[in-house]
Structure 1
């Protein structure tokens, strides 16, 4: 069974980073948490910095490798980088002078300072990724269908479809930076599901818009759908249904599959079109 929901296509603000000026954006998964210089201990943050220096061309001819040691060659590469930026050539990267983000390009989500104003502790801007994502806010009884890394199909405004993956489930937020859900209703108490899309070019051609999201469920051969009220708990565990056979009924043990919207997926000795008893 699949679950179809209305949602919205837009840019994600999950994990948005506040930027204070002046800073340099480098690519990396780990945030800067200390000064990086000749006297520091080895660490993955050093490796991350060295990867950037090599990629930017400031390590040419130095034999620099992207390991976790801050070597004399690293000091030289840092000084070359600082010279290119017009900064004082110290050979040390100070905490707060660099922002590490996984993306090489970011979107300015919100400005926190006005032109000409003095810079202090206030964030100059908040940035987020440039990829489009889909967001939906399912009802509580639908949340079981949405699992981390679960697959979905997203129908875009132009009628085309695109596959996606459930990236996050966040309770109490709209996922689009506002107070409302994709349908315009208040989203403060709802869970927002954010979906990463497989093909960004196709999504960007459609542009931010309303979308329809279908959850890709598990595939079961020869499964039937019955109201959940038809299910009977059996002695020893498991479930069954009473199947109408002429003027009588017979109890049939079934295997229970997915349950959604008061309907259950079953397999067993039940034929398509058969009538089952629903207790009043």
Structure 2
């Protein structure tokens, strides 16, 4: 930042060298300069340090849909289709495979009356969430397959076009940790065979997300909860919040990075583009009720440090200042100096 400021001053012809920068320079005195200049105000308020990064706008999650029964694929969804819990996701041998929400365990066995386990628990929770039973009728936290599970499952099967047996055979349902998915890739071929354990589809959730490959050296500068501003491809901006910062570094051609995930605060404002390039301004630090000036108002002193040139009633005087937080996106810097108050005019290079 010092190099940038010095370069600005040299380009503007407004470099000032003082043998005794903290002597009488705060007194009203003419300041000789042949550079074209303008005026900016000293302001008081909130200042934020920001990190500007390139990111990718898309959808959260990457799920593989694995078929457990095997057979001939007779129907597949289109890429981009959104499928909700309780819907037929695809068909094998003409029979629908149902999408259900469950994050506890993958399906690995047939489920029927009298069985217990975490896989039964996620089935009960899904049936209650879909409205096939109330919480009073069926405890969504129960890991027991009882009478109400049987009745609720029978209704679900009949609604999707299956024979209502009240039993869930292996391969009739797919459990994924989200209530709604968006198809990103179709791997199986309609009319082709799929073996048990074969991947049929890839999908994401429908939650919007921005990912940033952040330099590993800057990992400590960003934390979950930091506020961000997302610059979209259409030129508009929308707010967001850092949801997670990766702890495992990935080596890339341009260095080592960690993945930062960002949740847009207004998902609808981000549109529907997938894998779209965006810019993200991450607020890493904030200070309140401080004085600030444009960065190009800083004058480098020969003895070290900075000053600003204050203009009052036509008189010019130099006020030595200490710098604090820099807001790169706004081009301003926090300053403190004797006699410096909000509303004063300071000299800046003419634009």
Tell me which residue corresponds to 2:186: 111
RMSD, matched Cα:
4.1
Contact 2:59-2:274 at 8 Å conserved across structures: no
1:24 to 85, 98, 117: 98
State the Cα distance separating 1:215 from its structure 2 match. Answer: 1.0
Q: Could you say if the C-alpha distance between residues 269 and 32 of structure 1 is closer, same or farther in structure 2, counting changes exceeding 3 Å? A: same
Tell me which residue corresponds to 1:231: none
Contact 1:172-1:187 at 8 Å conserved across structures: no
Mapped pair 1:76 → 2:151:
yes
Could you say what secondary structure the match of 1:76 adopts?
helix
Mapped pair 1:195 → 2:259:
no
Unaligned runs of 5+ in 2: 1-48, 71-91, 296-303, 308-321, 341-351
Q: Could you say if the C-alpha distance between residues 269 and 85 of structure 1 is closer, same or farther in structure 2, counting changes exceeding 3 Å? A: same
Could you say what secondary structure the match of 2:103 adopts?
coil
State the alpha-carbon separation in 2 of the partners of residues 269 and 211 from structure 1: 39
Could you say what secondary structure the match of 2:175 adopts?
strand
Contact 1:166-1:195 at 8 Å conserved across structures: yes
More strand by share: 2
Equivalences for 1:52-91 in 2 at 5 Å? 52-59=126-133, 63-68=137-142, 69-87=144-162, 89-91=164-166
Tell me which residue corresponds to 1:40: 115
2:211 to 117, 122, 135: 135
Unaligned runs of 5+ in 1: 175-184, 227-241, 246-253, 273-280
Q: Could you say if the C-alpha distance between residues 92 and 149 of structure 1 is closer, same or farther in structure 2, counting changes exceeding 3 Å? A: farther
Q: Could you say if the C-alpha distance between residues 97 and 138 of structure 1 is closer, same or farther in structure 2, counting changes exceeding 3 Å? A: same
Larger gyration radius, structure 1 or structure 2: 2
Tell me which residue corresponds to 1:229: none
Could you say what secondary structure the match of 1:92 adopts?
coil
Q: Could you say if the C-alpha distance between residues 124 and 202 of structure 1 is closer, same or farther in structure 2, counting changes exceeding 3 Å? A: same
Say which is worse superposed, 32-41 or 74-83, in terms of deviation.
Answer: 32-41
Could you say what secondary structure the match of 2:214 adopts?
coil
Contact 1:38-1:92 at 8 Å conserved across structures: yes
State the alpha-carbon separation in 1 of the partners of residues 180 and 306 from structure 2: 63
State the alpha-carbon separation in 2 of the partners of residues 127 and 244 from structure 1: 55
Q: Could you say if the C-alpha distance between residues 8 and 63 of structure 1 is closer, same or farther in structure 2, counting changes exceeding 3 Å? A: closer
Write the deviation string for residues 93-135 of structure 1: whole angstroms up to 9, x where unpaired.
Answer: 2444322234333122222222322111431111111233222
Contact 1:223-1:267 at 8 Å conserved across structures: yes
State the alpha-carbon separation in 2 of the partners of residues 186 and 131 from structure 1: 30
Could you say what secondary structure the match of 1:116 adopts?
coil
Question: Normalising by structure 2, what TM-score?
Answer: 0.53
Q: Could you say if the C-alpha distance between residues 192 and 87 of structure 1 is closer, same or farther in structure 2, counting changes exceeding 3 Å? A: same
Equivalences for 1:232-251 in 2 at 5 Å? none
State the alpha-carbon separation in 2 of the partners of residues 244 and 76 from structure 1: 78
State the alpha-carbon separation in 1 of the partners of residues 51 and 99 from structure 2: 40
Contact 2:64-2:199 at 8 Å conserved across structures: no
State the alpha-carbon separation in 1 of the partners of residues 64 and 127 from structure 2: 22
2:172 to 89, 97, 104: 97
Question: Normalising by structure 1, what TM-score?
Answer: 0.64
Residue correspondences, number = 233
Contact 2:57-2:273 at 8 Å conserved across structures: no
Contact 2:62-2:203 at 8 Å conserved across structures: no
Tell me which residue corresponds to 2:58: 10
